[in-house]
Amino acid sequence: ADDVAVAIRIAREISPDLIVLCEDVNHADAMQLVKFAHEALPRTAVVVLSEKPSVDHAVKLVRAGALDYISGPTLADDLKRLLTGLAGEQQAARDGDGRFFSNECPPGVPFVGRSPSVVKTLETIRMVAQSRCNPILILGETGTGKELAARAVHTWRCRDMERFVAVNCATLSASLLESELFGHVKGAFTGADRDKTGLFELAENGSIFLDEISEIPPDLQAKLLRVLQEKSFRKVGGTKDIRCNCTIIASSNRNLLEEAEKGKFRRDLYYRLAIFPIRVPSLADADRADDIPLLAEYFVKTYAETSGGGPTSIAPAAQARLNRYNWPGNVRELRNVIERAVIVERSEQITPASLIFDSSDPKPADQPTSPKDFSLEAAQKEFILRALKETGWQKTKAAILLGITRGTLHAKLKRYDIQIPGDAENQDDDLLEDLAGAEANNG
Is 210 in contact with 249 (CB distance < 8 Å)?
yes
In the chain, residues under CATH classification 1.10.10.60 are: 373-443
Q: Worst-scoring range by mean pLDDT, 74-88, 129-143, 221-235, 398-412?
A: 74-88
| pTM greater than 0.85 (yes/no) | no
End-to-end CA distance of the chain: 74
Please state, in angstroms and rounded to a whole number, the distance separating the CA atoms of residues 48 and 61.
8
Please state, in angstroms and rounded to a whole number, the distance separating the CA atoms of residues 332 and 217.
27
Instruction: Centre a 10 Å sphere on the Cβ of residue 372 and count the other Cβ atoms it contains.
Output: 7
Please state, in angstroms and rounded to a whole number, the distance separating the CA atoms of residues 69 and 389.
61
The pLDDT score that the predictor gives to residue 365 is 34
For residue 305, with 0-12 CB atoms within 10 Å meaning exposed, 13-18 middle and 19 or more buried, which class applies?
exposed
The pLDDT score that the predictor gives to residue 76 is 78
Q: Worst-scoring range by mean pLDDT, 87-101, 254-268, 322-336?
A: 87-101
Q: Is CATH 2.60.120.260 the right assignment for the domain spanning 116-279?
A: no
Is 112 in contact with 100 (CB distance < 8 Å)?
yes
Mean pLDDT calculated for residue range 424-440: 54
Q: What are phi and psi of 429, to 5 degrees?
A: -65, -40
| Confidence at 30, pLDDT banded by 50, 70, 90 | confident
Q: Which fold has domain 373-443?
A: Arc Repressor Mutant, subunit A (1.10.10)
Report the candidate in 361, 334, 360, 353 with the shortest Cα–Cα distance to residue 400: 353
| Confidence at 435, pLDDT banded by 50, 70, 90 | low
Please state, in angstroms and rounded to a whole number, the distance separating the CA atoms of residues 296 and 320.
11
| Confidence at 376, pLDDT banded by 50, 70, 90 | low
As assigned by CATH, the class of the 284-361 domain is: mainly alpha
Instruction: Centre a 10 Å sphere on the Cβ of residue 163 and count the other Cβ atoms it contains.
Output: 15
In the chain, residues under CATH classification 3.40.50.300 are: 116-279
Angle between helices 376-390 and 330-344 (to 10 degrees): 90
Q: Which H or E element spans position 201?
A: helix 199-202
Please state, in angstroms and rounded to a whole number, the distance separating the CA atoms of residues 388 and 428.
11
pLDDT at 206 over 70: yes
Q: What does the radius of gyration of the chain's CA atoms come to, in whole angstroms? A: 28
In the chain, residues under CATH classification 1.10.8.60 are: 284-361
- Sort strands 247-252 and 136-139 into parallel, antiparallel or unpaired: parallel
The pLDDT score that the predictor gives to residue 264 is 93
Could you read off the pLDDT of 93-126 as tens digits, one per residue?
A: 544 566 788 878 887 889 999 999 999 999 999 9
Mean pLDDT calculated for residue range 423-427: 59
pLDDT at 157 over 60: yes
Q: Give CATH for domain 4-100.
A: 3.40.50.2300
Could you read off the pLDDT of 162-195 as tens digits, one per residue?
A: 889 999 999 999 889 999 999 998 887 888 888 8
Instruction: Centre a 10 Å sphere on the Cβ of residue 280 and count the other Cβ atoms it contains.
Output: 26
Q: What is the mean pLDDT of the chain?
A: 83
The pLDDT score that the predictor gives to residue 441 is 54
In the chain, residues under CATH classification 3.40.50.2300 are: 4-100
The pLDDT score that the predictor gives to residue 168 is 95
DSSP single-letter state for residue 313: E
The pLDDT score that the predictor gives to residue 88 is 56
Burial 57-68 (b: 16+ CB within 10 A, else e): bbebbeebbbbb
| Confidence at 373, pLDDT banded by 50, 70, 90 | very low
| Confidence at 363, pLDDT banded by 50, 70, 90 | very low
The pLDDT score that the predictor gives to residue 228 is 95
Percent of the chain with pLDDT over 90: 42
| Confidence at 416, pLDDT banded by 50, 70, 90 | confident
